């Protein structure tokens, strides 16, 4: 699919790519615009835009609060689709949507994929939808060429990784540890062994997220993975210092 091609083109000139995460509508779409401009100007290779959901079960307290505040402000899926279309036209990097399955289900799966394709969205991360529970969803992903990004975890067996890989496209998202987003991760020997298992299970690029906070973390996974995912840390930064702080932070990550 297009997403993998775009990422591999970038990997030809970079040792590791950066993917960032924002929650749409938090603290506002205007701030989202400012943050994305800062991210792109400072070398981000891919951006994961979260459509807010009331029960984001994979997310820690920082992203959970952002989801709740965005929903309280009235953010809709239609707003997110329109924003995604605006960003994909403005910037020459791949944009993905991350959300939970109930959003796509209530919206209507085919309509969701149609609108993603129209908006120029290159991939989807739906952490609560395993392939065996979403046969039609994954068929539509292939039909509309919106890459379904699947997730490996340290608890995944080799057999399960192989099953997930058979349905995945774009890249594989490797969570760095058990639990939810936002906590510090340990990139020691056990993590290296885990990433080696991930690498053996797929030919897709590997992204690592959950707990990447600084340049030391990015350096720790360089050479082992292809993409470093920074999520909660940029939201904390915007909360503390405003969107203008994002650019220097991103520029210092690699």
Q: How far is CA 97 from the centre of its chain?
A: 7
Give the gyration radius of the chain's Cα atoms: 17
169, 204 contact by CB (below 8 A)? yes
Residue 235 tokens, joined: 């939201």
Whether 48 is a known active-site residue: answer yes
47, 20 contact by CB (below 8 A)? yes
Q: Give me the DSSP letters along 41-106.
A: HTT--EEEEEPP-S--TT--HHHHHHHHHHHHTT--HHHHHHHHHHHHHH-SS-EEEE--HHHHHH
Interior/surface letters 153-187, b for 16+ CB within 10 angstroms, e for the rest: bbebeeeebebbbebbbbbbbbbbbeebbbeebeb
Closest C-alpha to 70, from 16, 105, 118, 30: 30
The number of residues making up the chain comes to 254
- Measure the CA–CA gap between 238 and 188, rounded to whole angstroms: 29
63, 127 contact by CB (below 8 A)? no
List the catalytic residue out of 48, 217, 226, 233.
48
Whether 110 is a known active-site residue: answer no
Helix (H) or strand (E) holding 150: strand 147-152
List the catalytic residue out of 4, 45, 59, 226.
59
Catalytic residue set: 48, 59
């Amino acid at each position: 699919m297009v997403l993998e091609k775009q990422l591999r083109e970038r990997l030809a000139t970079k040792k590791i790519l950066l993917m960032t995460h924002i929650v749409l509508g938090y603290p506002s779409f205007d701030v989202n615009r400012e943050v994305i401009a800062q991210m792109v100007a400072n070398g981000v290779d891919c951006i994961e835009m979260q459509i807010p959901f009331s029960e984001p079960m994979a997310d820690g307290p920082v992203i959970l609060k952002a989801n709740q505040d965005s929903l309280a402000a009235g953010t809709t899926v239609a707003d997110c689709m329109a924003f995604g279309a605006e960003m994909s036209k403005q910037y020459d990097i791949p944009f993905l949507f991350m959300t939970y399955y109930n959003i796509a289900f209530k919206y209507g799966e085919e309509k969701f994929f149609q609108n993603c394709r129209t908006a120029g969205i290159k991939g989807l991360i739906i952490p609560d939808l395993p392939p065996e529970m979403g046969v039609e969803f994954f068929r539509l992903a292939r039909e509309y060429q919106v890459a379904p990004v699947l997730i490996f975890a340290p608890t995944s067996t080799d057999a399960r990784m192989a099953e997930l890989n058979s349905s995945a496209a774009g890249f594989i998202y490797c969570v760095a540890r058990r639990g939810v987003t936002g906590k510090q991760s340990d990139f020691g020997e056990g993590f290296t062994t885990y990433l080696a298992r991930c690498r053996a299970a797929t030919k897709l690029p590997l992204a690592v997220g959950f707990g990447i906070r600084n340049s030391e973390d990015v350096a720790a996974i360089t050479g082992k993975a292809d993409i470093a995912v920074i999520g909660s840390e940029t939201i904390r930064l915007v909360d503390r210092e405003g969107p203008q702080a994002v650019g220097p932070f991103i520029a210092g990550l690699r």
